Amino acid sequence: MSEDKIEVNNGLNFDSSNLLLFVVRWKKPLIILSVAAAILSGIFSAPMFVTPKFESTVIMFPTSTASISKSLLAKNNVAKEDLLSFGEEEQAEQLIQILNSDEIRSRVVQKYDLMNHYKIDTTDVYKQTKLFKEYESNITYKRTEFQSVRIDVLDSDRFLAADIANDIAALVDSVKNRMQKERAFKAMAIAAAEYDEMKNYVKELEDSLNTMREMGVNDYESMSERFNEYYAKAILEGNTRAAEKLGEQLKILSKYGGAYVSIRDMLEHEKEQLSHLRAKYQEARVDAEQTLPHKFIVNNAFPAEKKSYPIRWLIVLVSTISTFILALLVIIGYENITKVNEQ
C-alpha cells in the first residue's frame, strides 16, 4: 500500500491523502446530487406541497398577585401589594399554566371551529388527540428572559392567527377571574354571615342597655356616687321623703348596676369587633364583585405580512448540505469496500 493511504477505525484504507482532492475527483456526482437535492427541496417546499403559515405574536407581562381589597382598602399596605407592579417569575409561570389550561383551549377550539379548520376527520376515533397535537404545534407559549410571556400562533390564515392570539390573551383574565371568584364569593359569604351574627348580637346588647336606661340606670358610676351623696345629705337634714326616693333609686342601681356595667363594657368591645368584621366583609365583597386585568399587554397580535413557515431557503440549504455529506460518506464507503474486494 502507498504511504498516503489513511487508515480508518474499521481497519479499511481510504485511497486519498487529502479530502479536498477526493471531493474534486468525485465532484461530478457530488454536484449532481447536491443540485438535485436543492431543486427537489425547493419544489417540495413550495406552497403547492407545504401550506404556508403566518405567525402572530402577543407579548404580555403578568401583574402582581395582590388582591384589590388589600391594595386599595386595607390599612398599612406594603409596596409588594401595588396593583401597578409587574409580576415576577412565579407569576409568569402561573400565567403560562393558565394559558395551557383545558378551558382556554376548549374555548378557542369551539369559537374558531379548529376541528374543521385543521381538516381533522370528525369520525376518527383519535380526533381529539390529533386536534390537541395540531393545536400545540401551532399555538405555543413561553416565558422570555425579561419575565414576560409570549403567545405565538401559526396559521394558514394570517387574520385568523392574529385573532386567536389576541383572544387567548383576553381569555387569561376571564379564566383567572373565574378561579379567584369561586374562592372570593365563598369568603364573602363567610364574612357576611359573621358580620350579620355580630350585628344581631350588638343589637341585643343595645336593647338590654336601653331597657336598663328606661328603668333609670343611665350611668352607674356617676349616678351611684351622686345618689349616695344626696341620700346621706337627706338623712342628715331629716328629709325622710327624699331619703326614701333616693333609697329606691339606690336599690335599682344596686340590683341592675353590675349588669349595666358588664353589658356596657361588652357592647363597646363587640362594636369594635363589629367594625373589624364590617371592614373584612367590605374587602371580601370588593374581591368577589370587582375585577382587574391580570396582565399588561406589551404588543397585541396583528396579521403578518410575510409567511413564517416553511422557511424555504433554510430547507433548501439543509437538504443540500445533508445530501452532499451523505453522498460523500456513501462514496467513501464504496471506495473502501471496493479496495477490500481488490485485496
Tens of pLDDT, residue by residue over 82-117, are 566 666 778 888 899 999 999 999 999 999 999 999
**Shared-domain flag, residues 139 and 261:** no
**Shared-domain flag, residues 20 and 74:** no
Confidence of residue 18 (pLDDT cuts 50, 70, 90): low
**Shared-domain flag, residues 62 and 158:** yes
CA gyration radius for the chain? 42
Say if 216 falls within a structural domain. Answer: yes
Say if 125 falls within a structural domain. Answer: yes
Say if 156 falls within a structural domain. Answer: yes
Report DSSP letters for 218-233, one per residue.
S-HHHHHHHHHHHHHH
Say if 83 falls within a structural domain. Answer: yes
**What's the pLDDT at 252?**
66
**Shared-domain flag, residues 236 and 258:** yes
Mean of pLDDT values over 335-341: 75
- Grid cell locating 337: 469496500
Q: Which segment of 162-176, 268-282, 288-302 scores lowest on mean pLDDT? A: 288-302
Give the model confidence (pLDDT) of 255-267 as tens digits.
666 677 777 778 8
Say if 304 falls within a structural domain. Answer: no
**Shared-domain flag, residues 111 and 131:** yes
Say if 167 falls within a structural domain. Answer: yes
Separation CA 87–CA 60 (nearest Å): 11
Say if 1 falls within a structural domain. Answer: no
Separation CA 4–CA 7 (nearest Å): 10
**What's the pLDDT at 156?**
86
**Shared-domain flag, residues 264 and 283:** yes
Question: Which residue blocks in the chain are alpha helix, DSSP H?
Answer: 19-25, 27-44, 68-72, 89-99, 102-111, 114-117, 127-138, 158-214, 220-237, 240-289, 312-342
In terms of residue numbers, what domain contains 141? 54-184+293-299
**Shared-domain flag, residues 271 and 315:** no
Separation CA 292–CA 315 (nearest Å): 46
Mean pLDDT, the chain, rounded, equals 77
Instruction: Residue count of the chain, please give it.
Output: 343
**Shared-domain flag, residues 178 and 206:** no
Give the model confidence (pLDDT) of 209-257 as tens digits.
777 766 666 665 555 656 555 555 656 566 666 656 656 666 666 666 6
- Grid cell locating 323: 445530501
156-170, 186-200, 207-221, 223-237: range with highest mean pLDDT: 156-170
Q: Which segment of 76-80, 100-104, 297-301, 332-336 scores lowest on mean pLDDT? A: 76-80
**What's the pLDDT at 13?**
46
31-35, 85-89, 147-151, 258-262: range with highest mean pLDDT: 147-151
**Shared-domain flag, residues 64 and 166:** yes
**Shared-domain flag, residues 246 and 198:** yes
**Shared-domain flag, residues 253 and 155:** no
The domain spanning residue 91 has which CATH number?
Answer: 3.30.70.1130
Say if 160 falls within a structural domain. Answer: yes
- Domains contained in the chain, number: 3
**Shared-domain flag, residues 269 and 280:** yes
74-83, 158-167, 187-196, 204-213: range with highest mean pLDDT: 158-167
